[in-house]
Homo-oligomer: A and B are copies of this chain.
Amino acid sequence: MENFIFQNPTKLIFGKGMIAQLAKEIPAGKRVLVTFGGGSVRKNGVYEQMQEALKGFETVEFWGIESNPKIETLREAIKLGKERKVDFLLAVGGGSVIDGTKLIAAGLLYDGDAWDLVLKGVCTETLPLASVLTIPATGSEMNSGAVISRKETAEKFAFYSKNPVFSILDPTVTFTLPTWQVACGVVDTFVHVMEQYMTRPGQSRLMDRWAEGIIHTLVEIAPDIVKDHTDYDKMAEFMLCATMGLNHFIGMGVCEDWATHMIGHELTALHGLTHGATLAIVLPGLWRTLKEKKMAKLVQFGERIWGITEGDDSTRADRTIEQTEAFFRSLGVPTRLGEANIGDDTIDEIERRFRERKVAFGEDHDITAEVARKILENCK
Contact = CB atoms under 8 A, between A and B. Distances in A.
Q: Which of A15, A206, A237 has the most CB of B within 10 A?
A: A206
A67 to B, nearest CB: 27
A237 B7 contact: no
A17 interface: yes
Interface in A230-268: 232-233, 236-237, 240-241, 244, 249, 252-253
Chain copies in the assembled complex: 2
A23 interface: no
Contacts of A206: 213-214, 217, 237, 240-241, 244
A34 to B, nearest CB: 22
A126 interface: no
A6 B240 CA distance: 12
A209 B206 CA distance: 11
A216 interface: yes
A8 B244 CA distance: 14
B11 A237 contact: no
A239 to B, nearest CB: 9
Interface in A14-61: 14-18
Contacts of A9: 7, 9
17 contacts: A1-B15, A1-B232, A1-B236, A3-B18, A4-B12, A6-B12, A8-B8, A204-B236, A204-B240, A205-B221, A206-B213, A206-B237, A209-B209, A209-B210, A210-B213, A240-B253, A249-B249
